[in-house]
């Protein structure tokens, strides 16, 4: 059974992966964020029946994963969590869209199946690359990168704080859940009513904590501006990383390589 503690442990693991020191880890986060952004834009910009042209795009997440030496199994598990949502989004496509697009032997495959598979493929690609981005960069670094790329500081800060206090909040939540569980017997005390009370008091506690954090910030001279160190350097490595991958994405977006390969092979025969 998934528990709050387990989920927490999982996030911490992703965090630890981001502490690696491979060449990919050392790249300026902005380069990785931008490349991933371009990648996702390229992937979602395809027509709804496109399937084969998406396959070459797997090269990007695979490249990041291997050069950042992330554990494949762990990342795959993370992606699997999100897949059911994509599955449900496209689940009625085969029912409603029955125009036959391709015949395999005597069996006609309808457009609905294609668009469904396409949605799944895109979900895996975009979610996978986003998770891998966190794994090779670290969430706080991504926030800072976003900020330096022009995202308003308020939003970047929200993300920063969200990530910092996710640990504190979930620990608090899991303590409360435990405390409730230890004093519930049978179905007594498990209902919506106590749940609402627990959530309500968690909200109030969060509120109080926010106030205490604000106090601690004020006590150290906080005056509305958030100063962070500018550690990043967008050097030659970053420029070439970004340029090469953007070029590859554009190329893969404009040319259907699997089809070209198919034509080449059939042309030979």
Partner 1 sequence: MSHHIVEVNNVRHEYADGTVALQGVSFRIHHGESVAIIGANGAGKSTLLLHLNGYLTATSGTIRIGDFPLTKSTLASIRRTVGMVFQDPDDQLFMPTVFDDVAFGPLNLGIPETEVEQLVENALTRVGAEHLMSKPPYHLSGGEKKRVAIATVLSMSPDILVMDEPTSGLDPFARRQLMTLLKDFRHTKIFTSHDLDMVLELCERTIVLHDGEIIADGPTLDIFCDDALLAQCRLEKPLTMQGCMVCGKK
Interacting residues with partner 1 (CB under 8 A): 12, 15, 140, 143, 160-161, 163-165, 167-168, 209, 212-213, 215-223, 225, 227-230
Work out how close the CB of 262 gets to partner 1 at its nearest, in angstroms, rounded to a whole number: 48
Shortest reach from residue 70's CB to partner 1, in Å? 19
- Shortest Å, Cβ 196 to partner 1: 25
H or E element at residue 107? strand 107-110
Cβ 9 to partner 1, closest distance in Å?
A: 12
Query: Is the Cβ of residue 171 or residue 181 nearer to partner 1 in the bound state?
Result: 171
Quote the least distance from Cβ 242 to partner 1, whole Å: 24
| Residues linked to residue 100 through DSSP beta bridges, in sequence order | 110
Contact 234, 35 (CB under 8 A): no
Element (H, E) at 25: helix 23-26
Give which of 253, 260, 265 is closest to 54, Cα–Cα. Answer: 253
Please report how close the Cβ of residue 160 comes to partner 1 at its closest, in angstroms. Answer: 7
Question: Which residue, 48 or 205, is less far from partner 1 as judged by CB?
Answer: 205
CB of 52 to partner 1, least distance (A): 42
Distances (CA, A) of 112 to 82, 100, 119, 237: 21, 9, 11, 43
* Complex with partner 1: residue 46 or 165, whichever CB lies closer: 165
Nearer to partner 1, 181 or 211 (CB): 211
DSSP H helical ranges for the chain: 4-17, 23-26, 29-44, 59-67, 72-89, 93-96, 111-137, 139-148, 153-182, 192-219, 236-254, 257-268
Nearer to partner 1 among residue 143 and residue 242 (C-beta)? 143
Nearer to partner 1, 105 or 221 (CB): 221
In angstroms, the CA 64 to CA 132 distance is: 7
The SS3 call for residue 104 is strand
User: Which of residues 7 and 216 has its CB atom nearest to partner 1 in the complex?
Assistant: 216
In DSSP notation, 185-241 reads BTTBT-SHHHHHHHHHHHHHHHHHHHHHHHHHHHHTT--S-----------HHHHHH
Report residue 65 CA to chain centroid gap: 14
């Amino acid at each position: 059974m998934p528990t709050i503690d387990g989920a927490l442990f999982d996030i911490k693991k992703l965090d630890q992966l981001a502490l690696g020191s491979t060449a990919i880890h050392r790249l300026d986060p902005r380069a990785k964020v931008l490349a991933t952004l371009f990648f996702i834009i390229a992937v979602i910009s395809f027509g709804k029946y496109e399937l084969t042209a998406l396959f070459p795009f797997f090269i990007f997440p695979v490249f990041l994963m291997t050069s950042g030496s992330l554990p494949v199994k762990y990342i795959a598990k993370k992606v699997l969590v999100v897949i059911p949502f994509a599955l449900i989004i496209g689940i009625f496509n085969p029912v409603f869209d029955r125009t036959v697009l391709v015949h395999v032997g005597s069996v006609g495959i309808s457009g609905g199946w294609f668009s469904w598979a396409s949605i799944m493929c895109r979900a895996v690609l975009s979610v996978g690359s986003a998770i891998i981005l966190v794994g090779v960069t670290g969430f706080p670094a991504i926030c800072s990168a976003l900020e330096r790329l022009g995202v308003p500081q308020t939003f970047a800060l929200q993300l920063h704080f969200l990530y910092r206090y996710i640990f504190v909040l979930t620990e608090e939540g899991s303590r409360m859940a435990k405390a409730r569980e230890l004093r519930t017997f049978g179905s007594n005390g498990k209902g919506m009513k106590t749940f609402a009370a627990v959530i309500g008091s968690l909200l109030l506690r969060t509120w109080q904590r926010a106030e205490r954090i604000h106090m601690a910030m004020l006590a150290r001279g906080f005056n509305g501006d958030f100063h962070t160190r500018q550690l990043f350097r967008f050097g030659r490595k970053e420029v070439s990383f970004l340029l090469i991958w953007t070029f590859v994405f554009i190329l893969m977006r404009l040319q259907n390589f699997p089809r070209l390969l198919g034509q080449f092979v059939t042309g030979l025969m």
